[in-house]
Amino acid sequence: MIAGEAGNSRPEVLTVVGPTAVGKTAVSLALARALGGEIVSADSRQIYREMDIGTAKPTADERELVRHHLIDIINPSETYDAVRFAADAEKAMVDIVARGATPLVVGGTGFYVASLFQGLFEGPGRDPELRTRLTDRAASEGVRILHQELKEIDPEAAERIHVNDSFRVIRALEVYLTTGRSLSEWQEKPVRAAAFSARYVILTLSREQLYERIDRRVDAMMADGLLAEIEALVSRGVLSSDMPAASAVGYRELLPIVERGEGDLTDAVTLIKRNSRRYAKRQITWLRSIEDAEWFELDDRTPDDAAAAILALVSERGRPAR
């Protein structure tokens, strides 16, 4: 939703964020239908093709109901970063507005949203020789060793980057070793202004309710065939533990079972629930850093009721929705 012109003259877009499993999909669908809008996904896992169940993508029917952007755009073997996301999302929003529709940004990937609305940064170029050495070390010593080194030089980046995400761990180390400045330092200084500004609405639930939803959703994913989805992807060579997409919660815990027969399924499901809760906690920490956001408690509201209340809240406390 473009609510008008922000104080810095950039068009303002309704941006619905919240932790995993809070209910963003259902509420954003109701909002988009009420506004005649289209959804720009800010989810770093839903970008991957064929990884459907574990990333909780909107269903085919939901995507038929409301047009979505930046879902199913790359293969699990491909890399994608926040800078590329910001460019793609900005292009999608410009196109949506040009067609007379209303863009609605929805997601929980903080570094994607921050890159989109706080501007892009220019990092250093790549060093192929250094990258090869780091890649060889990750293969021989394990990416956990490299992640520990990253934690010592750039704890902020290490907190954001999962220990098994070898591509991003290597890139963060490459940045530091080639420039003497951490990736986090580089990201503090955007060099190109964003084209849009955000009108944030943060969806929230009590911690107990959120954790219950997370556990139920993991159980539902398993019942819907998450393990079979991973088995099919692995058998076809679409997904493996050394690919960027393999760090996604739900996939990284089950891949050892599928690829090597290691581990117990019950233990893996318990681990998925634990890691999902930990991810939600990190998301909540980021959400608390957002200034001038409207926090919206979902409680037991239906998606339509929540959408109506959000639109009333936005209109009451700011410019009316277009």
Q: Which CATH architecture has domain 128-187?
A: Orthogonal Bundle (1.10)
In a 3-state reduction of DSSP, which class is residue 278?
A: helix
Asked whether the predicted pLDDT for residue 1 surpasses 50, the reply is no
CATH class of 2-121+190-317: alpha beta
At 178, list the tokens. 């080639």
Interval 69-108: pLDDT, tens:
999 999 999 988 888 899 999 999 999 999 999 999 999 9
Residue with the larger pLDDT of the pair 281 and 232: 232
Please give the single-letter amino acid code of residue 229: E
- pLDDT tens digits for range 98-146: 999 999 999 999 889 988 998 766 667 777 788 888 988 988 899 999 9
Instruction: Quote the pLDDT of residue 43.
Output: 97
Tokens at 187, concatenated = 């990201």
292: helix, strand or coil:
coil
- Residue 263 confidence (pLDDT): 94
Residue 98: partners with Cβ closer than 8 Å, 6 or more residues away: none
How would you class 68 by CB atoms within 10 Å of its CB: exposed for 0-12, middle for 13-18, buried for 19 or more?
buried
Listed by start position, the domains of the chain span 2-121+190-317, 128-187
In the predicted model, is pLDDT for residue 212 greater than 60? yes
- Confidence check: pLDDT of 284 > 70: yes
pLDDT for residue 155 is more than 80 = yes
- Contact between 280 and 218 (Cβ < 8 Å): no
Lowest mean pLDDT across 5-9, 32-36, 51-55, 165-169: 5-9
| Cβ–Cβ under 8 Å, residues 72 and 138 | no
Q: pLDDT over 90 for what percent of the chain?
A: 69
Instruction: Give the span between the Cα atoms of 100 and 53, in whole angstroms.
Output: 33
The neighbouring-strand residues paired with 42 are 107
Predicted confidence band at 305 (pLDDT cuts at 50, 70, 90)? very high
pLDDT of residue 127: 78
What confidence category does residue 229 fall into, taking pLDDT thresholds of 50, 70 and 90? very high
| Phi, psi (deg, nearest 5) at residue 201 | -120, 120
Whether residue 179 has pLDDT greater than 90: no
Burial of 171 (0-12, 13-18, 19+ CB in 10 A): buried
d(CA 129, CA 269): 39
Q: How does DSSP classify residue 74?
A: B
CA-CA distance, 29 to 306, in Å (whole number)? 11
Mean pLDDT of the chain: 90
